[in-house]
Structure 1
Amino acid sequence: MGEIRNFKSGNQDEPPPHGVMPRRLAAIIVGDIASYSRLMQVDEEGTHVRVKRIERDLIQPSIVEHHGSLVKTTGDGFIAIFDSPVEAVRCSIVIQQNLVGRNASLPKDTRIEYRIGVNLGDVIVEPDDVYGDGVNIASRIEGIAEPGQVYISGAIYEQIKHKVVCGYESLGDRKVKNITDPVRVYRVLPDADAVGKTRGRRENVLLVLLSITVMMIAAGVLWYLLAQPGRVGQQAAAPAVSPVASPSPEPSPREAAVQTPQPSPSLASSPPPAPVSSPSATPLREPELIAIRGGSFAMGSNDDPTERPVHQVTVKPFSIGKYPVTVQEWNECAAAKECGFAAIGNDDAPVTNVSWTDAQQYVAYLAKATKRAYRLPSEAEWEYAARGGTSTKYWWGDKLQPGMAGCKDCGAAASEQPVKVGSFKPNPFGLHDMGGGVDQWVEDCWHKTYQGAPTDGSAWSGGDCSSHVLRSGSWKNDSRYVRPSNRDGYDTNVRYPTHGFRVALSP
């Protein structure tokens, strides 16, 4: 976390050499409010206050959290730059999804909705602004975007298509103002289900058009036959034949979503999901649990402001998954149509690309199928279990040891995906991957510190629950994230490639 700042480059007291301008390759976000003039005309002061509040509470923090820099605000919009195209698109999705929540209770004609365009380009950077074709293209893409949507250029798409968990709808090459070459444009579909729904709508339209065409042809043939002399009596004597075969039933949105690879980094290049068996053919595999005796411990640390203050917590007895939920376990839920997508990957690998809402779908499915009160662990339960009765920096001691956890600098070979569950030693409670492997959702809403946190081990549900807590760190993080006290928050409904979870159960 850090303060929002306008982008600065180099020593501002020393101008660049004559003829040399500071340049950099950057992912550029341009956002603009749809129908801003109309909103200002209806309620000038109220609209101004609302826009400034959105900038302060949503747009600026989202840019910082995704490691970007705010270049400037423009009254009815903003420009930001990022080193990472992935983070730029993630930030754009988060902004739009949070605006949906803010607008839900408002009349449609009073909602503040942004159009967002994202492009990758070589730009000229000045202390308080940024220039170049890269910015112009981002601005033009934003201009053709629909309110509430994120549109990206082909340059961004090529960088993120295997990295950001969402769908993409190609809008083809677009000729944009003052840009010589056409620009390939894609619409981002952050909800994986939207991919199937979009495809389902297209298939439905095609079916309707096909049916109309067949009916017109059949009507023409029938008219021709009836119009021929001497044919009327023959037609009357002939057996009646339906001129049009009934089209096959249109797929429902859920069926259309199942037909589409889910979740899909790219509609064009993703492999199909791993096959899943029907619930009738495959018995339910309950996650293996470890019973944890209750007790008291010092929760938190002084290593990071979000982990303070250190406070004493008493946890009641509970059980928790020995491993994170696996691809195979998740896909049983998907096969039962209780979880929103079929996961890809090895059956014994932890499931990833899971939002907090997705994780809740799985525990609800498990509870329904087993008649047991499955849930996500509370943040306090997770840390208590991860420490395994220890009070050191890591559960094995105060120094990092190779081969104890799956992280970027934990001594394991670098990988593009998490290894199978249980690949590393268990902690003293017999739990695997309680640090590294995959980030793990817990029940609690995100709070920036522990000030006011419950001390009885229960989940902290008060406050703003648009974000929830993640624990463990992942194979893509460094060893700082493997500490049992490490904590982070992420948007409740957004999927991300390193996010998974494990289940818990009260006695």
Structure 2
Amino acid sequence: MGEIRNFKSGNQDEPPPHGVMPRRLAAIIVGDIASYSRLMQVDEEGTHVRVKRIERDLIQPSIVEHHGSLVKTTGDGFIAIFDSPVEAVRCSIVIQQNLVGRNASLPKDTRIEYRIGVNLGDVIVEPDDVYGDGVNIASRIEGIAEPGQVYISGAIYEQIKHKVVCGYESLGDRKVKNITDPVRVYRVLPDADAVGRPRGRRENVLIFLLSAAVLIMATGVLWYLLAQPGRVGEQAAAPNVVAPVVSPSPQPPPREAAAQAPQPSPSLASSPTPVSAPSPSATPVREPEMIAIRGGSFAMGSNDDPTERPVHQVAVKPFSIGKYPVTVQEWNECAAAKACGFTAIGNDDAPVTNLSWTDAQQYAAYLANATKKPYRLPSEAEWEYAARGGTSTKYWWGDKLQQGMAGCKDCGGGAAEQPVKVGSFKPNPFGLHDMGGSIDQWVEDCWHKTYQGAPNDGSAWSGGDCSSHVLRSGSWKNDSRYVRPSNRDGYDTNVRYPTHGVRVALSP
């Protein structure tokens, strides 16, 4: 944003009159378009229209969705304030990740990319502006951010480091213009696993170089042996000489080999055949273990949170649902078949994470196409009915939290950096594992802030604004309030988040 425009610190020569200086502690977002002057010079009208569209369709709705207030736009940027530092950072991540999608098909020199700075400070709020050093620091942090990145102050980091599942790269203390004390700055990495990736890439390069060296040495030895006069003929003429290195070992029958190595099929990983039309010789798709649910009527929701009201009676038809959340191994078979958008990392038996709702739909569609069975995401009503397991208590095991029954921050077992393998906790009365804690789980329904007008037949609620969809279960990073079967939340449809996963359902 360059020089701060229309921002005023608290030491102005003529302070506002007494009585019009309401102060509040707020998380401040300052965003600014990188290379705005160049973009305007190339295409003034087109750039202006695109910027206004981004403000209208992305920035303003994201701020509202995360309970913030847009203070103003500045032509090439914006300022917003939030009561919650967590929501401010989440909003910043959503804006940047959505811009990545918008820019994907555009030439690099025409992309509109924002730099975003976030700070926590005591500010003066007026109807159309906000003032104070807290705003100035946010602006200075934005000024040193890279295009497409979110930089935050140490004050924000201390508030969110255990609440927003991100990676954080400390950039140290920075001296910023017109601010007396240095400011601790962090770069936000929306994918928490990104912190370890540079080291992984270096290790991969080292392994590649070592492998190449071994291959060169082996080639040299083979050339030397073959170059010896008569060596090969002498070996062939000796009837008692055995060459075990080149003797083929007996191979197990195909069925036995498959049983010995239950891994994603190499033919699926390399075959260009679409998943919707698997070849007859392809290895069958690994289907998730499913539990049949009889169906019935239950009281959905609770009075513990406004989003869970009103409690209403719902009749659910018979269906099946995954015994466990979808695992890394199951997801990566879909990725190998080119039907899912990325290859997951982690243990094969751990739940796959960092999924958007769109990703979850891709996996369900992959299963449906490959098996010709009606796999899908469960509806919100089906999920809660299955999670309750026929009970009506606060948790499926009773009204009080019991240690070791679910994977959450205060559920016992100590803090974890990642979800444990599926099935590590006791199943509910329906035989389902991890229906509370472990990972957040996408369902079919669009997000609605309450149950007013919700269907009562167990079907997915698809009406309204579907820019966000419903998540259930809570995760290993949340506390026990999120483990309740009635707990619900919403998140942006096309944005990946490190605690979000999926569990599939199957129609009769």
Query: TM-score with structure 2 length normalisation?
Result: 0.63
- When residues 15 and 250 of structure 1 are mapped into structure 2, their CA distance, relative to the original with a 3 A threshold, is farther
Q: 1:345 to 1:36 in 2, by over 3 A?
A: closer
1:488 counterpart SS class: strand
- Secondary structure (helix, strand or coil) at the match of 1:329 reads helix
* Offset of residue 227 of structure 1: 41
Shift of 1:493: 1.0
CA distance 1:445–1:157, shift in 2 (3 Å): same
8 Å contact kept, 2:10–2:131:
no
Cα shift readout 1:43-93 (whole Å, capped 9, x = no counterpart) = 999999999999899656745765767777668754346798775443113
Q: Distance in 2 between matches of 1:142 and 1:250?
A: 62
SS in 2 for 1:267: helix
Partner of 1:262: 263
1:234-258 deviations in Å (ceiling 9; x for gaps): 9999999999999999999999999
1:231 to 1:405, Cα distance in 2 relative to 1, 3 A: closer
1:85-128 CA-to-partner distances (Å, cap 9, x unmatched) read 77544311323556799999999999998653446899999999
Name the SS of the counterpart of 2:268 in structure 1: coil
Change (3 A) 1:308 1:243: same
Note the alpha carbon deviations across 1:421-447, whole angstroms, 9 max, x for none: 111111111111111111100011101
Task: Say if 1:376 and 1:45 are closer, same or farther in 2 by CA, change over 3 A.
Answer: same
**Following TM superposition, by how much is the alpha carbon of 1:260 offset from its aligned partner in structure 2, in angstroms?**
26
Deviation at 1:275, TM superposition (A): 25
Are residues 150 and 415 of structure 1, via their aligned partners in 2, closer, same or farther at CA, if it must alter by over 3 Å? closer
Secondary structure, counterpart of 2:57 in structure 1: helix
Report the aligned-residue RMSD.
Answer: 11.0
Give the drift of 1:337. 2.1
% identity of equivalent residues: 92
- Cα 1:137–1:354, aligned 2, differ >3 Å: closer, same or farther? same
CA contact (8 A) 1:352 1:497 kept: yes
- Structure 1, 22-31 or 37-46: larger mean CA deviation: 37-46
CA distance in 1, matches of 2:4, 2:477: 26
Q: Which runs of 5+ in 1 are unaligned?
A: none
Single out whichever of 72-81 and 263-272 deviates more from structure 2.
263-272
Look up the SS of the partner of 1:60 in the other structure.
helix
Contact preservation (8 Å) 2:30, 2:80: yes
Q: Quick check: 263-272 or 379-388, which moved more?
A: 263-272
Alignment partner of 2:270: what SS? coil
Contact 1:200 1:253 survives alignment (8 Å): no
1:304 is displaced (CA, Å) by: 1.4
SS across alignment from 1:266: helix
- 1:32 alignment partner in structure 2: 32
Deviation at 1:205, TM superposition (A): 21
Task: Out of 205-214 and 120-129, give the one that drifted further.
Answer: 205-214
Summarize the Cα distance change of 1:352–1:467 in structure 2 as closer, same or farther, 3 Å threshold.
same
Separation of aligned partners in 2, 1:50 and 1:162: 36
Taking a change above 3 Å as real, the CA distance of residues 97 and 256 of structure 1, as seen in their structure-2 partners, is farther
Partners of 1:148 and 1:64 lie apart in 2 by 21
Per the TM alignment, residue 404 of structure 1 is displaced from its structure 2 partner at its CA by 1.6
**1:200–1:181 distance in 2 versus 1, CA, 3 Å:** farther
Query: What is the match of residue 277 of structure 2?
Result: 276
Deviation at 1:413, TM superposition (A): 2.0
Deviations 1:150-176 (A, max 9, x none): 577999999999998899999999999
How far has the Cα of 1:330 moved from its partner? 1.0
Aligned twin of 1:60:
60
* 2-structure distance, mates of 1:121, 1:246: 74
Distance 1:342 1:250, change over 3 A: farther
TM-score, reference length from structure 1: 0.63
More moved, 408-417 vs 343-352: 408-417
Moved more, 155-164 or 354-363: 155-164
- Asked if 1 retains the 8 angstrom alpha-carbon contact of 2:310 and 2:450, the reply is yes
Residues 398, 369 of structure 1: alpha-carbon distance in 2 compared, 3 angstrom cutoff: same
| Partner Cα distance (2:247, 2:22) in 1 | 65
Residues 349 and 421 in structure 1, CA contact (< 8 A), matched pair in contact too: yes
Contact 1:69 1:82 in 2 (8 A): yes
The residue number in structure 1 matching 2:203 is: 203
Contact 1:166 1:264 in 2 (8 A): no
| Structure 2 contact 7–136 (Cα < 8 Å) conserved | no
**Unaligned ranges ≥5, structure 2:** none
> Take 2:118 and 2:264, find their aligned partners in 1: how far apart are those partners?
22
Q: Secondary structure at the match of 1:168?
A: strand
User: Which stretch of the first structure deviates more once superposed, 411-420 or 18-27?
Assistant: 18-27
The aligned counterpart of 2:316 is 315
Q: CA deviation at 1:283?
A: 5.7
| Residue 288 (structure 1) shift | 0.3
Which stretch of the first structure deviates more once superposed, 436-445 or 330-339? 330-339
Q: Secondary structure at the match of 2:417?
A: coil
Counterpart of 1:386 in structure 2 is 387
After superposition, the C-alpha distances for 1:427-470 in whole angstroms (9 at most, x for unaligned) are 11111111111110001110111111111111111111110000
SS of equivalent to 2:334: helix
Q: Deviations over 1:303-343 (max 9, x none)?
A: 21111122221111110000001111111112222212221
Provide closer, same or farther for how the CA distance between residues 496 and 99 of structure 1 changes in structure 2, counting only shifts above 3 A: closer
Q: What do the CA deviations read for 1:128-160 (whole angstroms, capped 9, x no partner)?
A: 987777754643565688998757799999999
Alignment partner of 2:266: what SS? coil
Q: Is the 8 A contact 1:322 1:431 kept in 2?
A: yes
Q: 1:122 to 1:211 in 2, by over 3 A?
A: farther
Q: Tell me, in whole angstroms, the C-alpha distance in 2 between the residues paired with 1:118 and 1:349.
A: 34
Question: 2-side partners of 1:385 and 1:5: how far apart?
Answer: 55
Check 1:3–1:415 CA distance in 2 against 1; reply closer, same or farther (3 A cut).
farther
Q: Distance in 1 between matches of 2:78 and 2:405?
A: 44
| Residues 441 and 471, structure 2, Cα contact 8 Å, conserved in 1 | yes
What is the alpha-carbon distance in structure 2 between the residues aligned to residue 247 and residue 36 of structure 1? Answer: 66
Secondary structure of the residue aligned to 2:37 is helix
Contact 2:264 2:329 in 1 (8 A): no
2:456, 2:422 → 1: CA distance?
31
Deviates more, 1:190-199 or 1:29-38: 190-199
Of 46-55 and 331-340, more deviation after overlay is shown by: 46-55
Moved more, 29-38 or 232-241: 232-241
